[in-house]
Structure 1
Amino acid sequence: MAIHLTNPPPGLYATKTPSQQQQQHRPAGSHAAAAAAATVAMPQTASAASSSVAVKKNMRQAAPVVVARRRTTAVESGGVALASVWREVQGERDWEGMVEGTAEEELHPLLRGEIVRYGELVAATYKAFDLDAASKRYLNCKYGKARMLDEVGMAGAGYEVTRYIYAAPDLAAGPPCPSRWIGYVAVATDEAVRRLGRRDIVVSFRGTVTGSEWVANMMSSLAPARFDPADPRPDVKVESGFLSVYTSDDATCRFTCGSCRNQLLSEVTRLIAKHKHEDVSVTLAGHSMGSSLALLLGYDLAELGLNRDARGRAVPITVFSFAGPRVGNTAFKDRCDELGVKVLRVVNVNDPITKLPGIFLNENSRVLGGKLELPWSSSCYTHVGVELALDFFKARDPACVHDLEAYLGLLKCPKVTKVMKEGEDLFSKAKKIVLEQSFDTWRWQMAAIQVGGLVQALGM
C-alpha cells in the first residue's frame, strides 16, 4: 500500500526562534556550535512545473505507486540546517515527515539535496572510469586517489578519498575474471563535518560495465549470504551473481589484494575506529549493480556488528540506491529492517532494471488473497527500504530510462524534466529531456560499452 506521511519530525517545517533551533537536534561534541549556523543551499525550483514523485515503503503485499507533483515551500529558502536534522535525512525515522501527506506530496528540499549530492558522488565513478582500450588503466580509474574528485569536477565535494575498491565475479564457466575498479571509500573533511553535523563515511559504487559483470547480473538464483560465521542464517539469501562480485577474490590484481568485501570491511571499520569519538554516519550509494553492492555492504556491516563507536552506539547505515535491482529474498529484507539498515531506493517507474530479478517470483507473488502465504514465498525476491518513484517519461531508449545522469537531471531540474501524460509523444519528450541536459561524453561511452557487454554476455 502507498504510504502518505503526514507528521513531519520537529524542526523540519515549523518556524522556530533562534533559541529553539539551537536546542533542537543539536549534534554532540565539537560540532554543536557549527550545527546551528550551517545551512544547505537548495536549487531553486518553480511551482508551476515540477517532477512527479512518489514515496512508498516495501510491505508484505503489493503496493501501487502513488504519483505526486512537486511544490515549493519556504523551507527551500533556508532556515533549517542540515546539521541539525541529519539523522532524519539519513532515514532514522524511515523518512517520515520528509514528505507531506497532502494531495500533492512533496520531497523535502534537504532530502532532495542530499540525494542529488550522493548521486553525484556515484556519477564520479563513471567519469573517472577509463574506457580507453589503449590505456594502461583500461577499465580502472584514470586518476590517483588524491586528485580523483578534482579531476571529475567535484573539487568542492568535501570528501577525501581514502581507498579504491576492486572486484571480480567468480564465474563457473570460462577463465578467471580480473578485478576491475568498482568504486571508492571517502570520508568527510573537517570543513564538511561542520556543515553535515557528523563525520560522514561514503562508499560509492558504479554499475555494470564489463561482460563478466553482465554475466554475474544474470545469475538470478538465490544463495545464502552467510556473512556471520557464528550465526550464518541460511534462510537469508541474496542473488548469487551480486554475492559473487562482492565476495570473490582475485589474487592477480596489481592494485589491491583480497575480495571486494574484505577491502570494504577493513577500510570502513578503520575509519569508524579513527573517528570513534565523533558523531559518524556510514552512507553507501550506488547505481544499478552498484546499489546491490551497497546494500550487501550495509547488511554485512550491521550483521557483524562493525558499526559501533567508542561508546558502543550503533553508527547509522544508510543506502542511497539509484536504479537498483532486487537483491535478496524476504528473509534478507526482514533482517535488514531488524538491523536498522536504512535504504532509500530512487527509481524510474519505467526502468526495467528496477523490476529485476524476480519478474515472476517477487514480493507481489508471496501471498494469495492477502492471507495465504504460498509455498515458494521464501524464494521470492523482495525490495528493501523506502521507494522514491520518479515518473518522468515512457521511452524505449534504455540509455535514458536507466541512466544515472537522467535520474539526477530530474531531481535537480524538475521544471525541465516534467512530463505530463496528456497524449503527447512521450518518446519525443524524452529525447528533448536528454538534449536539454549537459551530459558529458562519458555518458554515451558508458551506454555503448554496456550494450556491447550485454551482447557479449548473451553470446550474440
Structure 2
Amino acid sequence: MAVFPLPQLEDNAVLLPSSQTNSTQPQLCDVWRDIQGAHNWNGLLDPMVPNLKAEALRYGNLAQLCYNAFDGKSYSKNYGTCYHSKRDLFNKMGMSESGYKVTKYVYANTNLLNKVFGEKPKDQGVWLGFIAVCTDPNEIRRLGRRDIVIAWRGTQTAEGWIEDLRDILIPTRLSYRCKRTGAAGATVNISSRDLVVSDIERLIQVYEKEMDNLSIIFTGHSLGAALATLSAYDIKQMLCTKHNFHQIPVTVFAFASPRVGNLAFAKRGEEIGVKVLRFVNKRDLVPKVPGVCMNDNVGCLSKLLQWLPWTYFHVGVELPLHNNSPFIQHTHNLAYFHNLELYLHLPDGYVGSKQPFSWSGRDQALDAYI
C-alpha cells in the first residue's frame, strides 16, 4: 500500500502509475503487464522476480479464501453457500486491506447426482467463488491499473468429486445458451457462465475510460484452476469477438491445475492471448491427469491422435515447484502434496530451480492444513 494519502476518487476514476524509483527492483505499477504474462514470463521465473512472486501469492490467497469461506458441511442448513455476504467477505476473512470490492458471487449446479438419485437441484447451485474489482485508490496506484479478479473454489463436496471423474472432452461453444465444458468435471454451467460473462461485461462498461489500464485475472486451485482456465478462454474470446477489447490482458494464475482441453483448445488460447501460469508441485498427481496414456508428454503420437476424446494437453507456462522446503513432511499421503497451502508455501520460498529454499516466515506448520 502507498504511504502517502491520496484524494478521494470515484470507482470509475483513473489513477496513473507512479514513476519508477531508483530502486534495483522496479515498482509493480511500471512492470505489471510483464508480471501478467505479456511476454509469457520470459526471464521472470528462474530466478523468480519478487514482483511476480508477490502477485502470484496474492492471487493464491484469494483462491484459498474461497475454500475457507465455503460451508462444505453436509449437515449444515446452509450447506453449499458462502459463510459471509459479499459486503463482508474480505473483512470477515481477514483481508480488509485488500483494496477490492466483491461485485458478484458465482454459483453452479451439480447435475450428476440429481440424475442418479432423483434429487432436486438447488435453485442457484453451490457457491464456487466470486468476482471482485479493485476500488481503493492506493492499491490502484500500486498495481498500476484497475484490476478485476475472478477466484474459483476447488472440489469440496461429494457431488463435486463425482463430477471430477468425468474425463471425456466435448466441443467448446461460445454461446449464452449452451453449457461450457472442458474436461475432468471442469464445467461452467449456464448459471455460473452467465454470471461471470454478464458481470465482466458490466464492469468493462463501467470502467471503459480505463481500458488501457485494466486487467482481468482468474485464479483457482485444482478444479478451480481448471475453471479459471476455461473462464479466461471464454472471456478473452468474448473480448476479441464481441467488444473488440482485445488489448485488455486476461491472465490465469493456476495452482495444481489438471489438463482441461485438447491441442486445438491450447492453441486457440494462445492465439487469442490468454496467459496462463501454472504452478505445479512435482509430487502432485493432479496436474498429470486426465490423459494418463494420451497427453502432451507422449510427443508426436498424441498430436496424431489429438482427435480422440481423451487426448489432453496442458496450456500456458509451467513453473515446477520442488519440495525442497525443510518444513515439508516425509509422507506418502498424496493429498498432502496437492494441498493449496503447500502450493503457496513452496513458491513463497522459491528463488530458482538451482537455489536453496528461502523461507520468509509463511506457514511452516503445514501439517495443520491437511
> TM-score, structure 2 length as denominator?
0.82
2:348 aligned to which of 392, 398, 412: 412
1:376 CA drift (Å): 4.8
1:341 CA drift (Å): 0.3
Cα contact 2:279–2:321 (8 A) shared by 1: yes
Between the aligned partners of 2:138 and 2:152, the Cα distance in structure 1 is: 24
Between the aligned partners of 2:335 and 2:229, the Cα distance in structure 1 is: 24
Cα contact 2:236–2:272 (8 A) shared by 1: yes
- RMSD, aligned α-carbons: 3.1
2:319 aligned to which of 388, 404, 412: 388
1:283 aligned to which of 217, 222, 233: 217
> Structure 2: which amino acid aligns with 1:210?
T
Between the aligned partners of 2:216 and 2:306, the Cα distance in structure 1 is: 35
Distance 1:360 1:82, change over 3 A: same
Cα contact 1:208–1:290 (8 A) shared by 2: yes
Residue matched to 2:54: 113
Runs of 4+ in structure 1 deviating by more than 6 angstroms, as ranges, are: 306-309
Between the aligned partners of 1:30 and 1:229, the Cα distance in structure 2 is: 32
Cα contact 1:202–1:282 (8 A) shared by 2: yes
Residue matched to 2:226: 292
> Structure 2: which amino acid aligns with 1:265?
V
1:139 aligned to which of 61, 64, 80: 80
Pairing 1:437–2:365 present:
yes
Distance 1:325 1:403, change over 3 A: same
1:146 CA drift (Å): 1.1
Between the aligned partners of 1:237 and 1:128, the Cα distance in structure 2 is: 25
1:312 CA drift (Å): 4.2
Between the aligned partners of 1:108 and 1:272, the Cα distance in structure 2 is: 30
Residue matched to 2:15: 31
SS at match of 2:142: helix
Pairing 1:361–2:287 present:
no
Residue matched to 2:182: 238
What aligned pairs does 1:305-320 form with structure 2 within 5 A after superposition?
A: 305=239, 312-320=245-253
Higher mean C-alpha displacement, 130-139 vs 142-151? 130-139
> Structure 1: which amino acid aligns with 2:346?
L
Cα contact 1:284–1:318 (8 A) shared by 2: yes
Cα contact 2:322–2:346 (8 A) shared by 1: no
Distance 1:435 1:203, change over 3 A: closer
Between the aligned partners of 1:91 and 1:304, the Cα distance in structure 2 is: 20
Between the aligned partners of 1:127 and 1:271, the Cα distance in structure 2 is: 26
Cα contact 2:87–2:102 (8 A) shared by 1: yes
Cα contact 2:102–2:132 (8 A) shared by 1: yes
Cα contact 2:147–2:217 (8 A) shared by 1: yes
Q: Deviations over 1:37-77 (max 9, x none)?
A: 699xxxxxxxxxxxxxxxxxxxxxxxxxxxxxxxxxx84xx
Between the aligned partners of 2:91 and 2:21, the Cα distance in structure 1 is: 24
1:238 CA drift (Å): 2.7
Cα contact 2:253–2:276 (8 A) shared by 1: yes
Distance 1:153 1:304, change over 3 A: same
Cα contact 1:331–1:378 (8 A) shared by 2: no
Pairing 1:374–2:317 present:
no
Between the aligned partners of 1:435 and 1:146, the Cα distance in structure 2 is: 28
Residue matched to 2:199: 267
> Structure 2: which amino acid aligns with 1:391?
H
Cα contact 1:298–1:318 (8 A) shared by 2: yes
1:324 aligned to which of 257, 260, 263: 257
> Structure 2: which amino acid aligns with 1:374?
L
Cα contact 2:48–2:350 (8 A) shared by 1: no
Q: Deviations over 1:401-448 (max 9, x none)?
A: 001111111222459xx998xxxxxxxxxxxx99833776xx44xxxx
Between the aligned partners of 1:174 and 1:315, the Cα distance in structure 2 is: 44
Between the aligned partners of 2:277 and 2:78, the Cα distance in structure 1 is: 33
Distance 1:436 1:237, change over 3 A: closer
Pairing 1:122–2:63 present:
yes
Cα contact 1:165–1:263 (8 A) shared by 2: yes
1:137 CA drift (Å): 2.2
Residue matched to 2:6: none
Between the aligned partners of 1:326 and 1:240, the Cα distance in structure 2 is: 8
Cα contact 2:275–2:316 (8 A) shared by 1: yes
Structure number with greater Rg is 1
Residue matched to 1:196: 143
Residue matched to 1:456: none
Residue matched to 2:169: 222
SS at match of 2:18: helix
Between the aligned partners of 1:403 and 1:159, the Cα distance in structure 2 is: 26
Cα contact 1:307–1:316 (8 A) shared by 2: no
1:173 CA drift (Å): 3.1
Q: Percent identity?
A: 36
Q: Deviations over 1:268-299 (max 9, x none)?
A: 11111111111110000000000111111111
Distance 1:239 1:134, change over 3 A: closer
Aligned length: 338
Q: Which runs of 5+ in 1 are unaligned?
A: 1-28, 40-73, 100-104, 249-258, 421-432, 445-460
